Amino acid sequence: MCGIITIDGPSASGKTSVAQRVARRLGIPYISSGLLYRAIALACLRENLPPEAIEERLPHYRLELYPTQGENRVYLNGEEVSSALHSLEVDRWVSAVARHPGVRAFVNQVLRQIPPPFVVDGRDMGRAVFPEACHKFYLTASPEVRARRRMPERGAAFETVLAEINRRDEADRQQSAPAPDAIVLDTSALELEEVVEAVLQSLAASK
């Protein structure tokens, strides 16, 4: 699976922005695995379902992701829902949904049907979904740095976003562990392009 590059990390660690730019520089598609979990969380919200009931509903969902170098289009039962996936409401539900084994298996099945090469970001891509990928990275940063990065996306106060980041970290602690063979990069003091260059240099050195 050397055509697969995984970039994992906790919420707002920069993995999406880095994965998008790395994919663009390499001229291959980018995949955001988190969007699939968010689509299922959105389905929960729309149907007013508790997260515990979501596994029973999975057979009724048709989930599709169409990747490009810069963005992903996500469809739920034929409806494009991409623009509805980034909200505080979905933020609050996605961890509770994603921790269910049936949901993770459902999402992983969708991901494994996408032909490589591609760059994929998420929380356990290198450890659980694509363990045989040749290139694995794990990005991290302090909660405060990640909250400042996420504020413009959410339009909320720093304290609100920081509290949500800390809650997500605790909820995702088991799922977001790095793969044993992943290269770990702390991005707290790095600009986005510096992280991208570090990933690209590591890829070039491994050839």
Express each pLDDT in 30-74 by its tens digit. Answer: 998 889 999 999 999 999 999 889 999 999 999 999 987 668 999
Express each pLDDT in 104-145 by its tens digit. Answer: 999 999 999 999 999 999 888 999 999 999 999 999 999 999
Q: b vs e for 12-48, b when ≥16 Cβ sit within 10 Å of the residue's Cβ?
A: bbbbbbbbbbbbbebebbbbbbbbbbbbbbbbbeeee
Q: Residue 1 pLDDT more than 60?
A: no
Express each pLDDT in 175-188 by its tens digit. Answer: 778 999 999 999 99
CATH number (1.10.12.10, 3.40.1190.20, 3.40.50.300, 3.90.1170.50) of 4-202 reads 3.40.50.300
